[in-house]
Structure 1
Amino acid sequence: MKTTTGLYIGLMSGTSMDGVDAALVQFSEGQPTLLACHTENYPEHLYKGLQRLCQPGSDEINRLGRLDRVVGKIFAKAVNALLAKADVDAKDIVAIGSHGQTVRHMPNLEVGFTLQIGDPNTIAIETGIDVIADFRRKDIALGGQGAPLVPAFHQQIFAKPGVNRMIMNIGGIGNVTWLPATGNEVLGYDTGPGNTLVDAWIQQVKQEPFDLNGEWAASGIASVPLLTQLLSHPYFLQPAPKSTGRELFNQAWLEQQLSEFSQLNEEDIQSTLLDLTCHSIATELTKLSNNGEVYVCGGGALNGELMKRLQALLPHHHIDTTSALGIDPKWVEGIAFAWLAMRHVAGLPANLPAVTGASREAVLGARFPAQ
Structure 2
Amino acid sequence: MPDLFLGLISGTSADGIDAAIVGFDTGSEGRLQADLRLGRTYSWPDDLRAQLVALGQQAAPLTLDDLGELDNRIAEGFAQAANRALAEAGLTAADIAAIGSHGQTLRHRPHGRAGDGRHGFTLQLGDPSTIAERTGIRTVADFRRRDVAAGGHGAPLLPALHAALLHALGEDRAVLNLGGIANLTLLPGDGGAVRGFDTGPANGLMDAWCLRHTGQPFDRGGAFAAGGRVDAALLARLRAAPWFSLPPPKSSGRDQFHLDWVEAALAGGETPADVQATLLALSATTIADALRATQPTTARLIACGGGVHNPALMAAVAHALPGVAVVSSDAHGLDPDHVEAMGFAWLARQTVLGLPGNLPSVTGAAGPRVLGGIYPA
| Aligned 8 A contact 2:99 2:348 in 1 | yes
Deviation at 1:290, TM superposition (A): 4.0
| Alignment CA distance shift 1:56-1:198 (3 Å) | closer
Other-structure match for 1:300: 307
Matched, 1:183 2:180: no
Q: Secondary structure at the match of 2:279?
A: helix
Matched, 1:28 2:25: yes
Deviation at 1:147, TM superposition (A): 0.4
Aligned equivalents of 2:258, 2:77: Cα separation in 1: 25
The 10-residue stretch of structure 1 (52-61 or 130-139) with the greater mean CA deviation from structure 2: 52-61
Aligned equivalents of 1:316, 1:38: Cα separation in 2: 34
Query: Of 234, 240, 249, which residue of structure 1 is paired with 2:248?
Result: 240
Alignment of 1:143-182 (within 5 A): 143-182=151-190
Matched, 1:210 2:218: yes
Deviation at 1:251, TM superposition (A): 1.4
| Aligned 8 A contact 2:13 2:53 in 1 | no
Aligned equivalents of 1:220, 1:354: Cα separation in 2: 40
| Aligned 8 A contact 1:222 1:269 in 2 | yes
Alignment of 1:66-105 (within 5 A): 66-105=69-108
Aligned equivalents of 2:111, 2:145: Cα separation in 1: 13
Other-structure match for 2:50: 48
Other-structure match for 1:335: 342
Other-structure match for 1:264: 270
Deviation at 1:60, TM superposition (A): 2.6
Q: Match for 2:67: what amino acid?
A: L
Q: Match for 1:351: what amino acid?
A: N
Deviation at 1:328, TM superposition (A): 0.9
Q: Match for 1:38: what amino acid?
A: R
Q: Match for 1:103: what amino acid?
A: L
The 10-residue stretch of structure 1 (140-149 or 44-53) with the greater mean CA deviation from structure 2: 44-53
Q: Secondary structure at the match of 1:191?
A: strand
Unaligned runs of 5+ in 1: none
Other-structure match for 1:281: 287
Deviation at 1:213, TM superposition (A): 1.2
Aligned equivalents of 1:32, 1:347: Cα separation in 2: 19
Matched, 1:360 2:360: no
Q: Match for 1:323: what amino acid?
A: D
Q: Match for 2:97: what amino acid?
A: V
Q: Secondary structure at the match of 1:23?
A: strand
Query: Of 313, 317, 324, which residue of structure 1 is paired with 2:324?
Result: 317
| Alignment CA distance shift 1:321-1:283 (3 Å) | same
Q: Match for 1:134: what amino acid?
A: D
Superposed CA RMSD in Å reads 1.2
Q: Secondary structure at the match of 2:123?
A: strand
1:176-225 residue CA offsets vs partner (Å, 9 max, x unmatched): 00000111011100000010111111100000010111111112110100
Q: Secondary structure at the match of 1:18?
A: coil
When the two structures are superposed, what TM-score results if normalisation uses the length of structure 1? 0.96
| Aligned 8 A contact 2:231 2:275 in 1 | yes
Query: Of 329, 344, 348, which residue of structure 1 is paired with 2:355?
Result: 348
Q: Match for 1:204: what amino acid?
A: R
| Aligned 8 A contact 2:103 2:141 in 1 | yes
Unaligned runs of 5+ in 2: 27-31, 113-117
Count of matched residue pairs: 365
| Aligned 8 A contact 1:50 1:67 in 2 | no
| Alignment CA distance shift 1:57-1:40 (3 Å) | closer
Aligned equivalents of 2:213, 2:60: Cα separation in 1: 25
| Aligned 8 A contact 1:38 1:81 in 2 | no
Q: Match for 1:170: what amino acid?
A: L
Deviation at 1:52, TM superposition (A): 3.9
Aligned equivalents of 1:224, 1:10: Cα separation in 2: 41
| Aligned 8 A contact 1:148 1:243 in 2 | yes
| Alignment CA distance shift 1:57-1:218 (3 Å) | closer
Deviation at 1:19, TM superposition (A): 1.5
| Aligned 8 A contact 2:110 2:148 in 1 | yes
Deviation at 1:62, TM superposition (A): 1.4
1:306-355 residue CA offsets vs partner (Å, 9 max, x unmatched): 11111111111011010111001111001000000011111111101011
1:221-278 residue CA offsets vs partner (Å, 9 max, x unmatched): 10100000000011101010000001110111112122x1x22222111100100000
Q: Match for 1:13: what amino acid?
A: S
Query: Of 43, 68, 78, which residue of structure 2 is paired with 1:65?
Result: 68
- Share of identical aligned residues, percent? 45
Q: Match for 2:104: what amino acid?
A: Q
| Alignment CA distance shift 1:368-1:301 (3 Å) | same
